[in-house]
Amino acid sequence: MTHKILLLAGDGIGPEIVGAAEQVLQALKERHGLACEFEHALMGGCAIDAHGDSLPEATLAAARAADAILLGAVGGPKWDKVERAIRPERGLLRLRSELGFYCNLRPAVLYPALADASSLRPEVVAGLDVMIIRELTGGIYFGQPRGIEQDADGHRRGFNTLVYRDDEIERIARSGFEIARKRNGRLCSVDKANVLEVSELWREVVDGLAPEYPDVELSHMYVDNAAMQLVRAPKQFDVLVTTNMFGDILSDLAAMLTGSIGMLPSASLDAASKGLFEPVHGSAPDIARQGVANPLATILSASMMLRYTLDEGALADRVEAAVGQVLAAGVRTADIAGASERTVGTQEMTAAVIAALDAV
Ligand code: IPM
Ligand code: MG
């Protein structure tokens, strides 16, 4: 079976890093038996410029038809003033929502070679391997009603709605239990049940599932404490499962623990494990087109695609081992280099990973 992979380069450094991941996938195709074909489409600011919409119909149709989607990054200052309804971020949220990619996996893994790059002491983060599971198609990001209104007394009022249905909570909680079961068997559900009714329901539903997963040790934590614990003693966590907005915030925090947000991949899966794969970092317009962006988060996102959607776990292992080997050999892009280390650009890093694919 030939996998159909849709590549959405997006904006800023997007074309450079997606180009890098495509080269890696191409090498797997030529030398390691990956059966795939690539298609490209526009999404984000570039799609606004070309079609007046950050997620054009043709792109959405291509996304529906594809087996898996690899996205670079969208947005940039050029489109910050664009009307809210068609902004690059909106296109991304629509793609997640229209394709039902509710389960967002954001691993925060510290490569041994990068222990010094973290802002925390090496002993606090050495060996860190946390999986954050973020609910991605519900909660305050999508709840109705939302808007900005004029009040009768002349004030303007902005409002959003934080809402979860029990079935939405159940399916993401199940993802949490299933993934914890395949890792170290510990699941921490993060909420704000001391204040929010929606969190009270969240906790009740998660607790209700626990008897079905007796091999998983379940705990609960308030989100403020979770933020504190993540910087105090991050290695206490195995898998965290949480809402859309809490997950947005905690995953950036966890990313920084590893020293570089330029290293972290993510997967967003639907109920059938079809997925959208993207680096956790943004479009970095300040370094776009300079050939210096770190392609590893995108290459590792392609690896998650191989593992979670295309059922090519052995190839995913190969890519991850290649990245580990390149880092251990001291190859560094600027964002992960120490003060006196020599740095390489996007292309040289990509070539090093591709060469390592055959050596691991
Ligand atoms: C993320 C980003 C997005 C989000 C933005 C760009 C809409 O911050 O993927 O974490 O908030 O989900
Ligand atoms: Mg975010």
Tens of pLDDT, residues 295-317:
999 999 999 999 999 999 999 99
Looking at the DSSP bridge assignments, the partners of residue 275 are 68, 269
Determine the pLDDT at residue 1: 85
The domain boundary, picked from 241, 261, 281, lies at: 261
299 within a domain of the structure (yes/no): yes
Closest ligand 1 atom to the C-alpha of 74?
A: 6
- Of the pLDDT bands very low, low, confident and very high (cuts 50, 70, 90), residue 170 is very high
Digit-coded pLDDT (tens) for 66-79 = 999 999 999 999 99
Determine the pLDDT at residue 115: 80
pTM: 0.94
Residues 59 and 128 in one domain: no
**Mean of pLDDT values over 61-65:** 98
107 within a domain of the structure (yes/no): no
Residues 98 and 119 in one domain: no
Pairing state of beta strands 217-222 and 36-40? unpaired
Average pLDDT of the chain is: 95
Determine the pLDDT at residue 155: 97
Query: Which has more confidence, 258 or 355?
Result: 355
Residues 303 and 244 in one domain: no
**Nearest ligand to residue 73 Cα:** 1
- Of the pLDDT bands very low, low, confident and very high (cuts 50, 70, 90), residue 290 is very high
The domain boundary, picked from 261, 279, 312, lies at: 261
Q: Which domain holds residue 296?
A: 1-102+270-360
Determine the pLDDT at residue 338: 83
Say yes or no: CB of residue 248 within 6 Å of ligand 1: yes
Determine the pLDDT at residue 215: 98
Which residue's C-alpha comes closest to atom 6 of ligand 1? 89
Cβ atoms of 333 and 294 closer than 8 Å: yes
Q: Spell 219-230 as b/e; 16+ CB within 10 A means b.
A: ebbbbeebbebb
Digit-coded pLDDT (tens) for 96-152 = 999 999 999 999 999 888 888 788 998 999 999 999 999 999 999 999 999 999 999
Residues 136 and 240 in one domain: yes
Digit-coded pLDDT (tens) for 183-223 = 999 999 999 999 999 999 999 999 999 999 999 999 999 99
- CA–CA separation, 3 vs 315, rounded Å? 14
288 within a domain of the structure (yes/no): yes
154 within a domain of the structure (yes/no): yes
**Mean of pLDDT values over 329-349:** 93
Which residue's C-alpha comes closest to atom 12 of ligand 1? 248
Portion of the chain with pLDDT greater than 70, in percent: 100
pLDDT over threshold 80, residue 24: yes
- Of the pLDDT bands very low, low, confident and very high (cuts 50, 70, 90), residue 261 is confident
Determine the pLDDT at residue 117: 78
Cβ neighbours around 335 below 10 Å, total: 19
219 within a domain of the structure (yes/no): yes
- CA–CA separation, 42 vs 58, rounded Å? 9
Specify the 3-state DSSP secondary structure of 2.
Answer: coil
Residues 139 and 250 in one domain: yes
Which residue's C-alpha comes closest to atom 7 of ligand 1? 89
Determine the pLDDT at residue 192: 98
Residues 257 and 277 in one domain: no
Indicate the number of domains in the chain.
Answer: 2
Q: In testing the pocket of ligand 1, which one of 55, 92, 94 has its CB within 8 Å of the most ligand atoms?
A: 92
Q: Smallest Cα–Cα separation from 321: which of 351, 353, 293, 294?
A: 353
Say yes or no: CB of residue 11 within 6 Å of ligand 1: no
- CA–CA separation, 57 vs 9, rounded Å? 17
Say yes or no: CB of residue 267 within 6 Å of ligand 1: no
Please give the distance, rounded to the nearest whole angstrom, from the Cα atom of residue 251 to the centre of ligand 1: 10
Determine the pLDDT at residue 139: 98
Residues bordering ligand 2, an ion, CB closer than 5 Å: 248
86 within a domain of the structure (yes/no): yes
pLDDT over threshold 90, residue 352: yes
Portion of the chain with pLDDT greater than 90, in percent: 89
Please give the distance, rounded to the nearest whole angstrom, from the Cα atom of residue 247 to the centre of ligand 2: 8
Residues 139 and 196 in one domain: yes
Active site residues: 141, 192, 224, 248, 252
pLDDT over threshold 90, residue 262: no
How deeply is 296 buried, as exposed, middle or buried, from its count of CB atoms within 10 A (0-12, 13-18, 19+)?
buried
Residues 7 and 140 in one domain: no
**Mean of pLDDT values over 12-34:** 98
30 within a domain of the structure (yes/no): yes
Instruction: Tell how many helices (H) and how many strands (E) occur in the chain.
Output: 12, 12
Residues 77 and 179 in one domain: no
Please give the distance, rounded to the nearest whole angstrom, from the Cα atom of residue 261 to the centre of ligand 1: 14
**Mean of pLDDT values over 11-17:** 98
The domain boundary, picked from 233, 261, 289, lies at: 261
- CA–CA separation, 207 vs 90, rounded Å? 33
CATH number at residue 221: 3.40.718.10
Closest ligand 1 atom to the C-alpha of 251?
A: 10
